[in-house]
C-alpha cells in the first residue's frame, strides 16, 4: 500500500491534521523533552557514507553530520536481530532473549538467552517512553519476534508499518516467501506490492505519515525508522543504478585504497592504523571473473544506499515542515558491518535477470563487503571491527551545539536507550507489567553531546554464533568461532593486525576472565 492510498483509507481528518497551523506547538511546549528519531540502516559498512569516506552520494546524512556529531568508535551487536534487541532494550542481546537469530513462524525456541524473540524481562524504549507520555511510531524492519504477540504494537509502539521478519524482496513479498516473511500495518498482516512499491520508499512514506499524523499533538514523539537497505537482495530503481554504473569497474582494491585515504583525511581514522590486507578469500581485482557483473552489483548496492539517503532527506524535510526540527534528536547508525553472504543458494533468482531488477535475488558478496568495511577486516556476524564498528551520527539543533564535530569517545548500541530516557526525564523501570526488569546496560550519551567526557563503560562485550570479544579501554580481546583469542591495542592498531596475546599473556588472561564472567552473567554460550 502506498502512502497516498493509506491517507485515503484513513480519511481526510489525518491529512487536515498534517496541515494544522499548530504543528510546531508540541515542540515549543516541551523544550526540555525532545522528540527522538532513530534511523537504522541494515548491513551497511563503516565507510559507506560520504561523511565516512564513501564515493556514494549521501548528501542528507552528510548534512546531518555537518550539523551535529559523528562518532568514530561506535559499536553495534554484530548482526541484525541482536543489534535491534540491544537498541530497543538497552541490554546485551542475550539478556533480551536475542543472543542468536529470530525464531521463525510459530515454532518457539526454549525460553532463554537464545529464544529468538524479546522476553518479558526486558522493556523496550517505546514502552518506557509511552509510559512517560510520548507517542511512539515505527516504520521498517522489526525482526525481534515474528509471532503476533511479539509484534511492535505489543511492545509499546502506537503505530507500525513494516516488515516483521528479515530480508525480503524490495519489490514486495515473493509468493514463495510468504510463509516465511510477514508485512504488517499496525496489527494486520498485509501483502505489499504493485508497480510503484519499493520497500525503502514505503518505509520512508510511512515514517513521514506518522510525523504528519502527530502534527498538532502536544506529546513529544519517538519515531524508529528501521530500513532494510542496503541488505540483500540487490534491488534498486533504474535511475538510481544509472548514477553508479561503471564507477566500480576500477575494482575493490582501488576502492578500498581510496576510501582509506579519505577516512584518514577526514580524521575518522588514525593514519597509523594500516589498511587491513584484502580478505584472503577475495581475489585481486585483475583476477576477478566477469568484472562487468561485479561492477553492476556494487552499483546497485550504492543505489540502495543513495535511495536510503533520499528517504532520510524526506524525513528531515518533514521535521522542518512540521516545526519539529529544533527539538528533535536524530540518531543514525547501522546494525552491523557489510555483509559477505552469498544468497544464490536460496534459488530465488530468476535466470536471465540482472542484479537490481525485479526477479533477481543476489548479493554484492565478500569482495565488495570487504570494501564497505574499509579499513577493517571481517564482516557482519564476526565481532572483529569489520562486523561491529558502525557510523553513528547525532543531531539536535535545540540541544547539541556542536557542529561538524568528530567524537572519539566510545559508544555502544545499548547507550541509545539510556540516552533517550536521560533526555526525556524518564525513569528506567525496576518492574513493568508485573515483571521484574533486567537493569539497563547502556550509559547516556548526553554528556558527550555537550562536548564533555563521560564515564565510559568499564568494558564492552560481544558474543554471536561463537564469535566473541571484550573491549576495555583501548584493549580488545577477540576470537572468531573455533578460533584462538587475539589481543589488540586499538589505539595503535584498530585494524587488528598485530596480535599481542603472546607478548602480553597476563593482560589477555585478565580480559578473558572478564569475558567469561560476563558470559555467565548474561547466558552467552561458550566454546566447547
| Contacts of the segment 106-113: beta carbons below 8 A, 24+ positions apart | 106/147, 108/147, 112/523, 113/522, 113/523, 113/524, 113/525
Given the residues 51, 60, 73, 80, select the one marked as catalytic. 80
Distance, in Å, from the CA atom of 463 to the CA atom of 485, rounded to the nearest integer, reads: 13
Cβ proximity of 407 and 421 under 8 Å: no
Q: Dihedral of CA 255/413/227/383: which sign?
A: positive
Query: Does 143 qualify as catalytic in the annotation?
Result: yes
User: Cis peptide leading into 375, omega within 30 of 0?
Assistant: yes
Q: Which of 460, 347, 461, 449 is nearest to 405 (CA)?
A: 449
Please tell me the predicted confidence (pLDDT) of residue 512. 98
User: Which alpha helices (DSSP H) does 172-231 contain, by range?
Assistant: 199-214
| Burial class of residue 238 in the structure, from the number of CB atoms within 10 Å of its CB (0-12 exposed, 13-18 middle, 19+ buried) | exposed
| Burial class of residue 502 in the structure, from the number of CB atoms within 10 Å of its CB (0-12 exposed, 13-18 middle, 19+ buried) | exposed
Distance, in Å, from the CA atom of 195 to the CA atom of 459, rounded to the nearest integer, reads: 49
Cβ proximity of 294 and 367 under 8 Å: yes
Q: What is the dihedral of CA 111, 117, 122, 123, to 10 degrees?
A: -150
- The SS3 of residue 145 is coil
Please tell me the predicted confidence (pLDDT) of residue 528. 82
Given the residues 94, 143, 340, 412, select the one marked as catalytic. 143
Distance, in Å, from the CA atom of 383 to the CA atom of 273, rounded to the nearest integer, reads: 18
Please tell me the predicted confidence (pLDDT) of residue 177. 82
pTM above 0.75, yes or no: yes
Q: Which of 456, 405, 462 is nearest to 71 (CA)?
A: 405
Task: Quote the longest CA-to-CA distance of the chain.
Answer: 70
| Burial class of residue 310 in the structure, from the number of CB atoms within 10 Å of its CB (0-12 exposed, 13-18 middle, 19+ buried) | middle
Distance, in Å, from the CA atom of 49 to the CA atom of 241, rounded to the nearest integer, reads: 17
Domains present along the chain, CATH in parentheses: 35-454 (3.40.720.10), 458-528 (3.30.1120.10)
Q: CB atoms < 10 A from the CB of 293, how many?
A: 12
Distance, in Å, from the CA atom of 93 to the CA atom of 525, rounded to the nearest integer, reads: 12
Mean pLDDT by 10 residues, the chain (528 residues): 37 33 35 91 98 98 98 98 98 97 68 95 98 98 95 98 94 85 95 93 98 96 98 98 98 98 98 98 97 98 98 98 97 98 91 96 98 98 98 97 97 98 98 97 97 97 98 98 97 98 98 98 94
Close Cβ partners of 175 (under 8 Å, ≥ 6 residues apart): none
Query: Does 94 qualify as catalytic in the annotation?
Result: no
Distance, in Å, from the CA atom of 398 to the CA atom of 326, rounded to the nearest integer, reads: 5
Please tell me the predicted confidence (pLDDT) of residue 419. 98
Close Cβ partners of 371 (under 8 Å, ≥ 6 residues apart): 45, 47, 252, 255, 256, 259, 298, 338
**Cross-strand bridge partners of residue 436:** 431
Amino acid at each position: 500500500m502506498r502512502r497516498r492510498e493509506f491517507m485515503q483509507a484513513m480519511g481526510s481528518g489525518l491529512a487536515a491534521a498534517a496541515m494544522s497551523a499548530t504543528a510546531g506547538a508540541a515542540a515549543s511546549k516541551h523544550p526540555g523533552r525532545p522528540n527522538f528519531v532513530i534511523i537504522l540502516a541494515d548491513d551497511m559498512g563503516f565507510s559507506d557514507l560520504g561523511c565516512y569516506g564513501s564515493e556514494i552520494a549521501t548528501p542528507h546524512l552528510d548534512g546531518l553530520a555537518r550539523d551535529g556529531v559523528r562518532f568514530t568508535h561506535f559499536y553495534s551487536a554484530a548482526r541484525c536481530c541482536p543489534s535491534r534487541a540491544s537498541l530497543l532494550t538497552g541490554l546485551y542481546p542475550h539478556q533480551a532473549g536475542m543472543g542468536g537469530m529470530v525464531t521463525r513462524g510459530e515454532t518457539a525456541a526454549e525460553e532463554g538467552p537464545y529464544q529468538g524473540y524479546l522476553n518479558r524481562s526486558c522493556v523496550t524504549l517505546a514502552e518506557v517512553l509511552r509510559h512517560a507520555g510520548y507517542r511512539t511510531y515505527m516504520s521498517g524492519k522489526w525482526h525481534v519476534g515474528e509471532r503476533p504477540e511479539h509484534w511492535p504494537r505489543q511492545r509499546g509502539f502506537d503505530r507500525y508499518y513494516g516488515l516483521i521478519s528479515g530480508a525480503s524482496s524490495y519489490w514486495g513479498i515473493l509468493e514463495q516467501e510468504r510463509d516465511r516473511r510477514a508485512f504488517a500495518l499496525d496489527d494486520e498482516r498485509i501483502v505489499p506490492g504493485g508497480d510503484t512499491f519499493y520497500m525503502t520508499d514505503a518505509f520512508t512514506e510511512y515514517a513521514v505519515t506518522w510525523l504528519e499524523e502527530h502534527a498538532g499533538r502536544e506529546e513529544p514523539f519517538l519515531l524508529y525508522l528501521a530500513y532494510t537497505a542496503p541488505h540483500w537482495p540487490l534491488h534498486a530503481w533504474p535511475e538510481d543504478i544509472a548514477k553508479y554504473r561503471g564507477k566500480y569497474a576500477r575494482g575493490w582494491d582501488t576502492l578500498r585504497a581510496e576510501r582509506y585515504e579519505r577516512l584518514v583525511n577526514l580524521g575518522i581514522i588514525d593514519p597509523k592504523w594500516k589498511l587491513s590486507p584484502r580478505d584472503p578469500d577475495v581475489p585481486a581485482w585483475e583476477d576477478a571473473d566477469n568484472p562487468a557483473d561485479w561492477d553492476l552489483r556494487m552499483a546497485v548496492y550504492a543505489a540502495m544506499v543513495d535511495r536510503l539517503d533520499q528517504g532520510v532527506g524526506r524525513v528531515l524535510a518533514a521535521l522542518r515542515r512540521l516545526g519539529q526540527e529544533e527539538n528533535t534528536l536524530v540518531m543514525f547508525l547501522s546494525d552491523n558491518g557489510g555483509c559477505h553472504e552469498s544468497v544464490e543458494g536460496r534459488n530465488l533468482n530468476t535466470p536471465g535477470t540482472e542484479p537490481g531488477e525485479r526477479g533477481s535475488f543476489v548479493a554484492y558478496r565478500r569482495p565488495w563487503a570487504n570494501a564497505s568495511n574499509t579499513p577493517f577486516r571481517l564482516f557482519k556476524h564476526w565481532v572483529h571491527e569489520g562486523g561491529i564498528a558502525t557510523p553513528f551520527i547525532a543531531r539536535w539543533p535545540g540541544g547539541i551545539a556542536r557542529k561538524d564535530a568528530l567524537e572519539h569517545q566510545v559508544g555502544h548500541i545499548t547507550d541509545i536507550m539510556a540516552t533517550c530516557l536521560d533526555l526525556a526525564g524518564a525513569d528506567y523501570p525496576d518492574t513493568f507489567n508485573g515483571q521484574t526488569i533486567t537493569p539497563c546496560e547502556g550509559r547516556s550519551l548526553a554528556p558527550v553531546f555537550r562536548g564533555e567526557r563521560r564515564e565510559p563503560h568499564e568494558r564492552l562485550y560481544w558474543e554471536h554464533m561463537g564469535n566473541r570479544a571484550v573491549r576495555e579501554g583501548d584493549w580488545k580481546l577477540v576470537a572468531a568461532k573455533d578460533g584462538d583469542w587475539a589481543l589488540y591495542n586499538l589505539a595503535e592498531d584498530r585494524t587488528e593486525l598485530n596480535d599481542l596475546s603472546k607478548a602480553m599473556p597476563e593482560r589477555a588472561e585478565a580480559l578473558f576472565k572478564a569475558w567469561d564472567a560476563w558470559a555467565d552473567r548474561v547466558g552467552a554460550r561458550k566454546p566447547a
